[in-house]
Amino acid sequence: MKKVSVKYLIILIVPIFIELVLQLLAGNVDKIMVQSDSLATAINQANSVLDLLIVAISVLASSSLILINQYKGAKLKNEEEEVYRLSYYFYLFVGIILSLLLLALSKPILLLMQVDDNILGNAYLYLMINGGCLFLTTMMISFQNYLRSNDLTKASLIVSFIFNIINVILNALFLYVFKIDPILSVALGSVISRGIGVIILYITYKKKVGISLNIKGIFPIKLKKIKKLVSIGIPASLEAINYSLTQIVILTFINIIGSRFEAVAPTAKTYTSLMVSITYLFVNATTMGMQIVLGRYLGSNEKELAKKLVIKTMIISIIVSTLTALSFALLSNQIFNLFTDNQEVIELCRTIMFIDIALEFARAINMVMVRSMQTSGDVMYPTILAVISCWLIATLLSYIFGVVLNMGLAGIWWAMAIDESFRAVLFIIRFARGKWIKKNMVTA
């Protein structure tokens, strides 16, 4: 295949990065617009569940992006087109099931998380409305992957921009014009704008890509193709779900800390989470762009180029992620003053952001390594490692440091930094031994 230049990689990454920034704004604009620490915390508690499932869906759906680009690299057009149809209906089915489960289980989940009674009702309302329409997110993710796989990252970006503008407008309309309940306002704004986004994405896909998604096209069902989607998607999504589950358990520890001895911990977690998300946003975009190019290299069996691509991506990711984390730490007083005037919250946020520098350095390595291995089909290693490390190191140490030793939120952040560092070392060893690149999903 034609060699992919660094310039081409940047052309892929920049629109994805901007789109992820917009997605981050969409996920946090609700917290900002309600203009209340307690309501923002309620939304954050609900989002911890939603984020878990959205991340799992995104990773599950990335199997379609991986297969499409490997087939592109191998120049197997018919095989490539089959992936679009099978993956679309498979992921839609998963989204509907998850939506129904959240409609039924939102309150028990929040109670299990020990969400404070003062915010439980608002968290439940937000989670039930957004969770019940989670299938819309599944559809959006599918179409975004299809556009990105065809180098249409700018088209996907434009739709995301429109979706975010509509979200803000609807939130403002419900909050300030109709003056309905704040949580109901932002929840409805999110869901309606997401529905509009799905429609725009479908129209864009139909115009730019044009491969039919008629359900008749999946028959007779190619079980081998479904097996490939599942063999990549399920272990990869389990890795993401496992990480997110540990984060929910850790959030429960933070809630315990907040009720016992560090009352500002849940609020500080809400605001630091926003800045942390921004910190690793570039790495997320870089690794997504890398997956597109890496899939084509692997599909055309250009393994040396694949290795060099991963190494360059990792170096860039480490530099940008660490410098961003350092910048946020140094400017933390000014940044968090924009969110709250509670000096105790601001001081705790500042402490967390300095600890986060070490965490983001290691996390950059892990994100590159995990997505490289997933793209090659080496999905079990990162999943098994995540289960062991996230529970035995991140979660266990979070409880010991944060709750038992009374180190509070800072102790929890140190525990997570240790977990990320441990996994980073093992991933580099795995990469150096070359086992990750011996798989080939095209011929599997």
pLDDT in tens, 89-123: 999 999 999 999 999 999 999 999 889 899 999 99
Domain limits of the chain?
A: 6-438
Q: Where are the extended beta strands (E) located within 289-340?
A: none
Buried b (16+ CB within 10 A) or exposed e, 326-352: bebbeebeebbeebbebeebbebbbbb
Report pLDDT for 320.
Answer: 92
Would you call 325 helix, strand, or coil by DSSP?
A: helix
CA distance 176 to 230: 45
In percent, the amount of the chain with pLDDT more than 70 equals: 97
Burial class (CB in 10 A: 0-12, 13-18, 19+), 140: buried
CA distance 329 to 339: 15
Mean pLDDT score of the chain: 91
- State the greatest distance between any 2 C-alpha atoms of the chain, in Å, as a whole number: 63
CB 126 within 8 A of CB 43: yes
CA distance 235 to 380: 6
- Mean pLDDT for 376-400 is 95
CA distance 380 to 231: 9
Out of 130-134, 218-222, 357-361, which region has the weakest mean confidence (pLDDT)? Answer: 218-222
CB atoms under 10 Å from CB of 89, counted, come to: 15
The size of the chain, in residues, is: 444
Tokens describing residue 2: 């034609």
Q: Is the pLDDT of residue 1 over 50?
A: no
Q: Is the pLDDT of residue 279 over 90?
A: no
CA distance 371 to 313: 11
CA distance 5 to 259: 53
> pTM to 2 decimals?
0.84
